[in-house]
Amino acid sequence: MNLKKKMKQGPVFGFAIFTGALSVIESVGNLGYDFVYLDIEHTSIGVGPDLEKQIMAARLAGISAVVRLTGTDEVDIRKVLEMGAEGVVIPHVRTRDDAASIVRAAKFPPLGRRGAESNVRAAAYGGPGFNWPDYIARSNDESLIIPMAEDFEFADNVDDILSVDGIDAVNFGPIDYSLSAGLPIGYKIDHPSLFDAYQKIETRARAKGIGIMCPVVPATQENAREMIAKGVNMLILGNDMYHLQSAFKNILSECVAPLRQG
């Protein structure tokens, strides 16, 4: 079942991947999570063979892959979807024009102006049973378009941004949003101004049937339940480097430090 269908049934859970390690992606899928959030914006990975392998690893493990790109470049968006990713996450969307450019690049006509090619993974390389109308309709229906609300301009322009047809979810980024608005930085949406901005975006999105993606850090049941109660239905439970660092810190404090002290 694709991620868009899962979202309609209830919250979906996944991890951001910063290391690009294929074994980590496969492990997330093997353990039964719903998606991996492959990060290009904050890593050295680009739209190329390494990313393609990550998407293939996710597909092999039966898990959905969405890719956070670096901007609205139409070639990057098209390539990622042709590689087999189920969705694109675009950072720092501030205006209706930003949102419209994502949909234009990601969706085939009549929704957008995406260029078409059958000899790609998303089209099963034009193999047996390939049919252009079916491929175009399926791609338009299943691909996830997720702009990031991580600047105060998104909240200011939320009605215009969400008036663009084709948006499936909004990825609220509390860290960068707080930076843009001069607020205390943290993952918790607890500062009054940050909560007001989030609530404005969530209310507008919910009215249009648009999902909300948000990080849950630390990934406790209490925090996850709190975010679900706030309307989040795509939960990012931290990233692989965060959890690796946490494990290293625990071993240091619980094992190594006492041994060093004698």
CB 83 within 8 A of CB 122: yes
Band (pLDDT 50/70/90 cuts) for residue 118 is very high
- Model confidence at 159: pLDDT above 90: yes
User: What number is the average pLDDT over the span 52-70?
Assistant: 98
User: What number is the average pLDDT over the span 155-171?
Assistant: 97
Q: What is the per-residue pLDDT for 146?
A: 98
Band (pLDDT 50/70/90 cuts) for residue 1 is confident
Tokens 């993952």 sit on residue:
187
Kindly report, residue by residue over 145-155, the tens digit of the pLDDT: 999 999 999 99
**What does pTM read for this prediction?**
0.95
User: What number is the average pLDDT over the span 180-204?
Assistant: 95
Query: Which of 39, 140, 49, 51 is CA-nearest to residue 90?
Result: 39
Query: Domain spans of the chain?
Result: 3-260
CA atoms within 13 A on the CB side of 238: 13
Q: What is the per-residue pLDDT for 212?
A: 98
Nearest 5°: phi and psi at 147? -75, 150
CB 18 within 8 A of CB 241: yes
- Bridge partners of residue 236, in order along the sequence: 14, 215
Contacts of 188 (CB under 8 A, 6+ apart): 174
* R_g (Cα) of the chain, nearest Å: 19
Q: What is the per-residue pLDDT for 237?
A: 98
Band (pLDDT 50/70/90 cuts) for residue 198 is very high
- Model confidence at 5: pLDDT above 90: yes
The 3-state DSSP class for residue 140 equals helix
Alpha-carbon distance of 151 to 174, in angstroms, equals 9
Tokens 């338009």 sit on residue:
140
Alpha-carbon distance of 29 to 16, in angstroms, equals 13
Q: What is the DSSP letter of 126?
A: G
What is 3-260's CATH number?
3.20.20.60
- Model confidence at 42: pLDDT above 90: yes
Query: Which of 129, 150, 138, 182 is CA-nearest to residue 41?
Result: 150
